[in-house]
Amino acid sequence: MKLIVGLGNPGKEYVGTRHNAGFEWIDRFAEMLHVTLKPEIRFHGLCAHVDQKDTDLWLLQPQTYMNVSGRAVVALCQFYKIQVEEMIVIHDELDLPPGIVKLKKGGGLGGHNGLKDIAAKLGTQDFWRLRIGIGHPGDRSAVVGYVLHPPRKEEAQLIAEAIERSLEVWPLLAQGACEAAMLKLHTKT
């Protein structure tokens, strides 16, 4: 892996919301690695560079708002010649309950506008995704309000635990052993 993208919306009003689970993952990972995300105008986001043995690794939080996340992803991928199979996108997932985290490659986009924009800009949806469960409000018309608000206390705890569990499989992902990471992650949840 050469690029980890955490999806969310910029701005204080979105901190801690369900839709910012990807940002939370990146914040936690950056903290573990003792790196600081800094604004990178050319990549339309907050970035950090990490030396991982023989591989350069980039962390990215697009600051373009969720619906146009692809702009930041493509800018960084093109500049550093990062291939689709060398990146993973971390995002909130309505179809999984809080506390569940799943890894997958490709497949449907589940109506997630951030994923849709990334797939459209890359010309493929065949990239790795780490899906952090946030649950569903039960009514399709309530989704927008639901994802843009903080989870209840017990849900927030489950989401935080899922993020921590997913960080444990990073060494496998770093080696490109995504199938092994998936097996380990999915047998823990």
Residues involved in catalysis: 19
Q: How far is CA 167 from CA 117, 123, 129, 187, in A?
A: 25, 28, 14, 15
SS3 for 39? strand
| CA 84 – CA 90 distance, rounded (Å) | 14
Q: How far is CA 123 from CA 117, 118, 120, in A?
A: 10, 8, 5
User: Strand order in 101-105's β-sheet?
Assistant: 38-40, 45-52, 55-62, 3-6, 87-93, 128-133, 101-105
